[in-house]
Amino acid sequence: MEFFRLIEERHSMRSYSPAPVEEQKLQSILAAANRAPSAGNKQGYEIYVIRKLKQRRSLVKAAGDQEFLAEAPLVLIFCTNPARLAEWYQERGTQLYAIQDATIACAFAMLAASDLGLSTVWVGAFDEQSVRQVVNIPPELRPVAMLPIGYAGNTPRITPRRELGDLVHEA
């Protein structure tokens, strides 16, 4: 898909069909996330792939009953890995760049999924400790975003965006 059309047509989806995501599509999404820019190319993040329904149902509870997390056939969890940045960037690397790295990778995965005809929604509202327990994420990593992925269960509601004149400022 042409990039600007992809950006225009991508919408958050909170309803998914039960159709599974093909393994090749998942691998393409993960490869796109792996190509995301990162601080010093250190890739201060890790990605967990969640397929099991039991775990996805537990993620629903960890995310304040966002049921679509169980509805989507898979969920990617993006975690910071501050140790990959500590030596090069000290505190700024561990406190900021690791979060930026993980979230840029998540955005690349989201766009790749859309390009492959799949739907997603960024989930940032969740209890980190609960997510950590569901997936057995080690304490040195921090979950910062979840991305349910699947085929759309309905037509997305188009949401308005701010006018550029309200958003962009010349300095």
pLDDT at 114 (0 to 100): 96
- 167: part of which helix (H) or strand (E)? helix 164-167
pLDDT at 12 (0 to 100): 92
What's the structural domain count of the chain? 1
Do 109 and 68 form a contact (C-beta atoms < 8 A)?
Answer: no
pLDDT at 155 (0 to 100): 86
pLDDT at 14 (0 to 100): 93
At 84-112, the pLDDT tens digits run 999 999 999 999 999 999 999 999 999 99
pLDDT at 26 (0 to 100): 98
Q: How far apart are CA 69 and CA 130, in angstroms?
A: 14
Alpha carbon of 157 to those of 12, 76, 122: distances in Å? 8, 23, 15
Give yes or no for residue 1 having a pLDDT over 70. no
Strand order in the sheet with 142-150: 45-50, 74-80, 142-150, 119-120
At 43-53, the pLDDT tens digits run 999 999 999 99
In a domain, 158, yes or no: no
In a domain, 163, yes or no: no
Q: How far apart are CA 72 and CA 60, in angstroms?
A: 11
Chain-wide mean pLDDT for the chain? 95
In a domain, 171, yes or no: no
Q: What is the mean pLDDT of residues 21-32?
A: 98
In a domain, 47, yes or no: yes
In a domain, 169, yes or no: no
In a domain, 167, yes or no: no
pLDDT at 9 (0 to 100): 87
Segments forming the whole domain that contains residue 109: 3-153
How many beta carbons lie within 10 A of that of residue 101, not counting itself?
28
Q: How far apart are CA 47 and CA 122, in angstroms?
A: 14
Residue type, 150: G
Domain holding 35: CATH number? 3.40.109.10
